[in-house]
Each structure stands twice: as structure tokens, then as C-alpha cells.
Structure 1
């Protein structure tokens, strides 16, 4: 049947949510899978993916769009009966009650739900900065130069400020490594195994910029609410960390440029003498059309060919492995030379790092 792939995708995402510490979303997705299989109304929300390949369903994160849409609906005051069933202020919520109410709302709230699902997820996960930190510190230590940092798919730009956070790396031997300002308002804990990054490096960020096809405007309360709806609702530490980062970005007036990634890279990114230029992104690549991925790969190679020892260039990315989408890797390619390195296998939200 045409819904088999979607049903399987919802069930797999349910298991992933449970495994990664969100029993509420796990239960919601299980209810959604059962409803779809039974020909229920949830199928109307998934119409854009009916008959799609398994790869398309996962590349476009259809299950996450669906469950986040209900989180977004519950976040406002318009449907208090749904809001009451959702996790709030440390209480776990009731997913069975939430789905009973949510399912009944599909017809009346169809427009709001599908509007939310029309945009790819923008989980501007702050903890991913703790993964990227390993690459930034390595570039700084190996080049001895200040950094120019350019981010693709930056959403609201929360990870543009990676150097303003404090990190605690809890290691297997019981010891901890730390990096950053101990007084920072954004605290990033990570379980770290394998070689620690060069935490003695103290890179200076002399330039930072970012783009997104549809950046989140943090001055707009509705857009802030949408951003927070992409965080699993029973993971209160993630919500707290994101709110702290949002406040910091707002305080500094940081803005993400609205632009196509390929056009932006061609126009904005090039090596510069006296600094290491770093192009970076996290859980972004899969949402690009194949032709854009190919164009960016070629453009990055062209930029790398211009790099020199005095003007190095690095491509840092935290993305699913092309061979196995369930495995997220941190990779670093540095020019001159173009050496590509697997730095670590990592948790998709940055909770842990298994360094190579």
C-alpha cells in the first residue's frame, strides 16, 4: 500500500525519539503511525509525501515535521485542551490524552498544521556547537590564526555564537575538560569519549556571518515560538539552553542573511590572508536538492584551491553519513591540501561525541 513507507518512517522516528530521551514524542508518533495505518485523518497532513521514496521521506524529515506541528499548536493559547496534555514546567505530559485531542483537531486546525509542515525543521540545536567546537579548536590549533566563521542553514543563528558559550566535556575516565567563559549564560554539557579536542586553544573569531533560505527572525514572537516547537517538548534542558541562546543573540543583534546557500557561498566566502576561513553547517545537507549539493561541493573545492598557508580554508560539517543516515559524523576538510578527516561520530543533538 502507498502508506507503508510513511507508516514505517513514523514508527522508526518513534523509536528514535524514545531512544534519544523523548518518550512523549515517541508515544505521539506511535499513535500517528497507527492512525495512518488505519486510514485515519493524520494521512491528510502527510499528503505531500504519499507515494514518496523512503529516502525522500527521511531527507525531508516528514515524521519530525508532523510531530513538531502538534507541539507548535499546543504552545499557544488557542487550544488549551491540547496545551494541558503537553509537557510543561518539568511535568511529563500525557501523550495518550494529547493524541486524542490532537487527532480531533486535525480538521479544524488543518491549515495551521500544514502551514507549519510546509517548512523543513529548523532545530537550531545549541548543543551541536559542542560537537562543532572540536573542529573549530583543531583549525585554530593547527593554523595558529584567528577564525572567520561562515555558517550555512543557520536558522536563527544560535550556533554562530559558539565561542560565547561554556562547554563541559565529561570524559570516560571521570575527568572533565572545559572550554569557554565560566560565566557564560549558555552552558553546554557533552559526554565525550576518545581524544579531547585541543582545549588550550583560544581562537579569536574576527568575522562571523551566516545564511538561511528562510532565517528565523528572533524579534518576531511567532517565529521564536516556531523555533522552540522544533525542540522535543519533554526535553526541558534543551528548551532552557535554547532560550538562553535566543536571549544572547537578541542582545547582540545578530542577524542571519536570507539567501540561497550556493549563491551566498560564491559571493561571500573566500580565503583571506592572516585568518583561517571556516565554512560550517550541521544537519543541513540532507535538506538540499541534489543539484545544490553538487554545486556547493564544487564551489567549496574551488575555494579550497585558492587557499594558502597564510590564508587557509576549512570545511567543517556535522551531517549524517551518506552510507548510513543513522550515523552522524563530524568531518573536517582543510586546504591547502584538501585532507578530509573523520573527527568523530556524534549524537544528532550533540549529547555525546565519540572522537576518532
Structure 2
């Protein structure tokens, strides 16, 4: 490979990552899928997208450079910096016309190439999807009740929730959200955020018991301050612009966050978790939680986090139980070897290990289908 040909080859690899990202959202967000397909073609030609992605050509797949690009472009639209492109974006009142999307995007990309490059390099994908509170809520009910049964208690445990990769902390208030079922609303029926969880089946728990959260904390490498306009724009930019239901859900979650602030500490996770788990609370179930964040965690931090959790699990007692509750993509065996998002629960010292079910990456819809977590 010659020096002159190297950048073209690197851009070709990056273009494949853009195409892969387009494939993941094409059916659910035609706008984002088409933008990334066109940007991939532009990368291969060495067009403006190559200038925007300069410095990010060797980013690994897990950092999803295509979605960072799409988020940066969406933010331009939300800020009113791309009037010609805005007509395609429903989040600002537009209606997508895919055949002309790229030609209308080009002037904004050319004008703001430097700003877009800065944002792509400085940001990580943080959907902080509030819809994930729905499976989390059901999983917490199961955890609190199963831990109580194992301890011989008739009343479910109160919960202390510790979230790794909490972003803006939007999923740290599951007890303040309403969850609309056919005949009732679970949780807080007067909440600013009422979700339709779209459940098939029900969690294996008594839904009549109210979830009691007595503590919550979160950490993130890049925490988002959702009390600021910058933070709100940052999270909003990662919502696919033609998914208005998700957009409205996020706006409601941000409004709820304004009434119930939760601090998110800046930390990679393992040391923060060790400090939090060192403080044991009697008659409280401590739940370590993360959702769609594992792919962004370094192998070293994954190993350290597992070691911290194993140490705490070994010290758990019936009156100071510990749980791990995660909603993450897992590879499904089969000819296509696809991934699906599964809700997994472990309880110590009860020795309970359950796969509670599976759903869409944004938390809804979700199917409760309890099996052992091997």
C-alpha cells in the first residue's frame, strides 16, 4: 500500500462501519439509514464526509462512528444551523424526502465541516433511552421480591440503585415513572413520563407491590448535565429524527429530570463501584445496573468491574443482598448469529440467575420469558 493510497483504504474501512450502522437502523429510521448510506458513499469518494471524519478513521466498531456523525448532523438541525436540511427532519417539523436528502445535506456539511469534525471526535453515543426504564422497573420488582423470599421476608426489599454508564441519569428514577398496562398504571400514574411498555407477558412478580427506591447513584465517563441546554441538545441529537415517539418520550424524561435531579459522577466505573459497594446498607437490596453500555467499556474495565462485583457478591448476606440487573445485546445462536437485547438478573447470596426476557434496544416492546441465565 502506497502512502497516497492509505487514506483511501482507511476511509473505505470507515465507510463499511457507516454502512453497518445504517443496516441497524434502516427499517426503524429510514432517514438515518439513508443519511449514513449516502455518507458512506461520500467517504469512499473522499468527499466532505472524509474531512468531517478526519482523525476518526481508525475508530473501532464499538464506538459507532456512523451514529456519532448522524448525531452531530442532527444537532446542527436542532440548533437551526442547517435550514435547507431541516425540512427533512420531523423533530423540527420537517418531512423526509430521501431522494433529495443528501443534496440538501451537502451545503450544511460543507459550511460546518470543522464544527462537525470537532463534535464527532469529542462525543460518544449516549442514547440514555428512557424506554429502558420499563424492563428495568419490572426487573427491579422481581429482584426485590425474590431477594425477600430467599431471606424469608414477607415484604419486598427497598432498593438502592447503582448505574454504570448512566449518561444523563434518565433511568435512575424508575419509581417516578408511570407504566401503562391495559387496566392500570404501575409506578407513578401522575408522572410527567408515562410509558407504554408494550409488554408481552408479565414479570414474575406481584405487580401490586410498589417499588421503593431509597438510594440511587450513577457514573459515566462522559456524564451529561441534563439541567443545561447543551446537555439536553446532546441527548436529543442521538434520537433518530423520524422516531417522534422516542423524541416525545425523551422530552418528557428531561422534564421529569428537572423536577428530580440525580447526580452522575465522572468515572470509568470499577473504582466508583468499589467505593459505593463498600458501604453496606442493612435491609436494602443493592442493585448494580447497566443498559446498552457494555460495548463501550474497555476490556480492562470490564475485567475490573467483574472482580469488584464478585468481591461484593461474596460478602452479601440475606439482610444485605446484592443484585446485578443488565439490559444488553447478546449473540443469539443460529445461522444468522444475530444479537438481541436481554434482561438478565443475578441475586446474591440467594444464588438466583435468571434471563427475564428480551426486547428492542430502546426498551419497548419487551417480552417476558423467564429462563435460567447460564
- Residue 108 of structure 1: how far off its partner (Å): 3.2
Deviation readout 1:211-240 (Å, 9 max, x if unpaired): 112211123212211110011111111111
- Residue 149 of structure 1: how far off its partner (Å): 0.7
Aligned residue number for residue 86 of structure 1: 89
Aligned residue number for residue 318 of structure 1: 327
Aligned residue number for residue 244 of structure 1: 252
Change in CA separation of 1:176 and 1:4 when aligned onto 2, cut-off 3 Å:
farther
220-229 or 2-11, which deviates more: 2-11
| 3-state SS in 2 of match to 1:348 | coil
1:27-176 residue pairs with structure 2 within 5 A?
27-51=34-58, 56-57=60-61, 59-88=62-91, 91-118=94-121, 119-142=123-146, 143=148, 144-169=156-181
| Alignment check: 8 A CA contact 2:143 2:323 kept | yes
| Alignment check: 8 A CA contact 1:86 1:98 kept | no
| 3-state SS in 1 of match to 2:171 | helix
- Residue 51 of structure 1: how far off its partner (Å): 4.9
**From 264, 272, 284, the counterpart of 1:275:** 284
User: Are residues 1:234 and 2:242 paired?
Assistant: yes
User: Are residues 1:7 and 2:15 paired?
Assistant: yes
- Separation of aligned partners in 2, 1:262 and 1:136: 22
Stretches of structure 2 lacking an aligned partner (at least 5 in a row): 1-8, 149-155, 370-374
- Separation of aligned partners in 1, 2:331 and 2:272: 24
| Alignment check: 8 A CA contact 1:155 1:216 kept | yes
Deviation readout 1:248-274 (Å, 9 max, x if unpaired): 111223222222311210111244211
Aligned residue number for residue 189 of structure 2: 182
Change in CA separation of 1:305 and 1:46 when aligned onto 2, cut-off 3 Å:
same
- Residue 68 of structure 1: how far off its partner (Å): 1.1
In our comparison, the structure showing a higher alpha carbon Rg is 2
| Alignment check: 8 A CA contact 2:68 2:120 kept | yes
- Separation of aligned partners in 1, 2:361 and 2:52: 26
2-11 or 112-121, which deviates more: 2-11
Change in CA separation of 1:71 and 1:283 when aligned onto 2, cut-off 3 Å:
same
| Alignment check: 8 A CA contact 1:215 1:257 kept | yes
- Residue 182 of structure 1: how far off its partner (Å): 2.0
- Separation of aligned partners in 1, 2:98 and 2:163: 36
Aligned residue number for residue 203 of structure 2: 196
Change in CA separation of 1:134 and 1:310 when aligned onto 2, cut-off 3 Å:
same
Stretches of structure 1 lacking an aligned partner (at least 5 in a row): 170-174
| Alignment check: 8 A CA contact 1:10 1:63 kept | yes
| Alignment check: 8 A CA contact 2:142 2:203 kept | no
| Alignment check: 8 A CA contact 1:127 1:350 kept | yes
- Separation of aligned partners in 1, 2:166 and 2:275: 17
RMSD of the alignment, in Å? 2.2
| Alignment check: 8 A CA contact 1:140 1:201 kept | no
| Alignment check: 8 A CA contact 1:278 1:316 kept | yes
Change in CA separation of 1:8 and 1:314 when aligned onto 2, cut-off 3 Å:
same
| 3-state SS in 2 of match to 1:341 | strand
- Separation of aligned partners in 1, 2:357 and 2:184: 17
Q: Please, what TM-score do these two structures have when normalized by structure 1?
A: 0.90
User: Are residues 1:290 and 2:262 paired?
Assistant: no
Q: Please, what TM-score do these two structures have when normalized by structure 2?
A: 0.85
| 3-state SS in 1 of match to 2:173 | helix
